[in-house]
Amino acid sequence: MRGAIRLNGLKFPVGISNFAKIRDEGYYYIDKTNLITEILESSIAEVTLITRPRRFGKTLGMSMLADFFDVRKDSSKHFAGLAIAKHTKICNQWMNQYPTIFVSLKDVDGISFQDACAQLSLQFADLYKEYAFLLDANNIDNDDRNIFQKIKAREASLPDLSRALSTLMKMLNTYYDKPVILLLDEYDVPIAKASSHGYYTEMMNIIKPLLSTSLKDNPNLCFALITGCLRIAKESVFTGTNNFVSDSIVRSNLKESFGFTQNEVDKLLAEANAEAYAETIRTWYDGYHFDAADVYCPWDVISYLYDLQRNPQAKPVSYWRNTSDNSIIRSFIDYASSNITEKLETLLAGGFIVQKVDDSLTYDYLHSSEENLWSILYLTGYLTKFRDEVLPATIPDGYSALMIPNEEIKEIYETTVMKWFADNAQASNRKALFAAVWSGDSEMLTKEMTKLLRMTISYHDYREDFYHAFLAGIFTGAGYVVESNREHGEGRSDVVVKDIRNGRIAVFEAKYAKTLNKLQDACDLAIDQINKRSYAEDFQDDYDDILCYGIAFFKKRCLVKRK
């Protein structure tokens, strides 16, 4: 966890999802305790599954609930001054009145099933250590006591491990003579990881009994709240669960409990004396539509304000790219047909696409159809719904207009697309292109570069840095030294390609033409810049052949000229 620096007297809890720590140590907290009243006042479902994208405050919300309900704690000071404190009847009836299990499966990962099981065993061993006092209770069954000791010592069999929650719930109910509140965070992470690494069936053989014994016809259960990214549909672990409710970004009664609303962000920026950054934060980190609510990603807002504490000139960055598993986008693009490519280009241009969305998926079938892929991008936060009221036409039932929510996610797409193109370019046959470079054949070079250009996925505005990355990607991994935007002569050339073994070098200056008929002029401008800024002079002492090229781009067309 990074340390806290104050901005206008505020401490921002970057990397902290422990509610008690936030309250005890004076970190800024946006009051989400209405989640408690929403749950308790709407006839409590026996099992509620809350699905949201990662980084939207699910773990902090569950930590807050655990602090409120857990009979082992005295949490009144943590909730003083918050919205829930006004509901005295609820507080008297529920605050610190029930045995409560709070456990997260977010760290259960592994390349192999054995590795993942070891992580799961460690997770439950740590959980059981919190309840070691149960071993000394006279009313605990000896068989349960023996199982408890094995799980705590990480010596349990797989069947015992798959019933770790129900065993603990039974013992707690016996000890307190009260049913147990179960708070299970990120339940689907082990399943997602298992699907990625090829042991999905084995992991499901543990997760299914883990949940079914805890949730289905369990007399020791008061109620359960479970969070994750997806609701698992096929062979569902929730099938047969009594009084089951699913709360998703598609249909939600807890719309504003996860993510920051506009009013909450306005209040935060006012208290931080940071209103000047409001538009930047909105452009980069807002745009998510959860049912009827519009929300910001809380992780991003807090992280950016934290960075501004250290540097008021800090630029917004993609915090998701640094913390989340973005492999879903890459796998999606790898799947790309021409149809998907066109849709991605529409999205990157700021438009929307109309797709059928299913919020009940299963990890082992994510890539079974294009429809599933669009659904997973939506459910995991990489796309969001376009508001129906501003659509130019009516959307059919079961379909949604989808768009990229903000600049942060757009940057992730662009970065992923460029990496995908670089990999594809390296896998393609570039012999003719390289031969054209070193022979000075600008006509052949134009032809070969256009071929590669048509392979890639267009950006939203065809900026020059797109083409700059395109050029660098062509030569990367082909045995050349590739330099980008290095100082040479009197200026800064775009891309320099060095063939050190053969003592030759190619210098490229790229320009973007705003229309097709301006392609020639843009190419001439690039050549003129090479001449005026003497890009080649730095290399004359070290290289025998120095080839300079001006290259102009318009969408998926290009023109190359040699100086």
466-525: pLDDT as tens digits? 777 778 888 887 889 998 765 444 444 578 999 999 999 999 998 888 889 999 999 999
Contacts of 115 (CB under 8 A, 6+ apart): 109
Residue 420, pLDDT score: 74
What residues does 294 pair with on adjacent strands? Answer: 289
CA distance linking residue 396 with residue 126, whole number of Å: 49
Mean pLDDT of 136-149: 94
Confirm if 242 and 212 have CB atoms less than 8 A apart.
no
User: Could you give phi then psi for residue 82, rounded to 5 degrees?
Assistant: -95, 165
Q: Taking 70 as the threshold, does the pLDDT of residue 240 lie above it?
A: no
- Tokens coding 270: 């006012």
Residue 1, pLDDT score: 35
Q: Taking 60 as the threshold, does the pLDDT of residue 214 lie above it?
A: yes
Side by side, which strands form the sheet with 504-512? 481-484, 495-499, 504-512, 545-554, 557-562
Q: How far is CA 459 from CA 320, 469, 556, in A?
A: 20, 12, 10
Q: Which segment, 159-168, 341-350, 388-397, 421-430, is predicted with the most confidence on average?
A: 159-168
Confirm if 204 and 155 have CB atoms less than 8 A apart.
no
Name the band, by pLDDT with cuts 50, 70 and 90, for residue 364. Answer: low
Mean pLDDT of 117-132: 96
Alpha carbon 54 to its chain centroid, in Å, reads 6
Q: pTM score, two decimals? A: 0.82
- Looking at the chain, the whole-number percentage of residues with pLDDT higher than 70 is 88
Mean pLDDT of 30-47: 90
CA distance linking residue 106 with residue 213, whole number of Å: 21
Q: Which segment, 140-154, 393-407, 424-438, is predicted with the most confidence on average?
A: 140-154
Side by side, which strands form the sheet with 384-385? 353-356, 399-403, 384-385
Name the band, by pLDDT with cuts 50, 70 and 90, for residue 362. Answer: low
Name the band, by pLDDT with cuts 50, 70 and 90, for residue 254. Answer: confident
Q: Taking 60 as the threshold, does the pLDDT of residue 210 lie above it?
A: yes
Name the band, by pLDDT with cuts 50, 70 and 90, for residue 203. Answer: very high
In the predicted model, what is the mean pLDDT of the chain?
A: 87
Mean pLDDT of 74-94: 96
CA distance linking residue 492 with residue 303, whole number of Å: 33
Residue 493, pLDDT score: 54
Greater pLDDT, 540 or 28: 28
Confirm if 163 and 143 have CB atoms less than 8 A apart.
no
Percentage helix, strand, coil, to 5, in the chain? 45, 15, 35
CA distance linking residue 508 with residue 522, whole number of Å: 13
Alpha-helical segments (H) within 140-261: 142-152, 158-161, 164-176, 189-197, 200-215
Which contiguous run of DSSP H or E holds residue 125? helix 113-129
Name the band, by pLDDT with cuts 50, 70 and 90, for residue 557. Answer: confident
Greater pLDDT, 463 or 84: 84
- Tokens coding 95: 């605050």
User: Cβ–Cβ contacts within 10 Å for residue 335, how many?
Assistant: 12
Q: Taking 60 as the threshold, does the pLDDT of residue 16 lie above it?
A: yes
CA distance linking residue 286 with residue 263, whole number of Å: 12
Coil vs helix vs strand at 154? coil
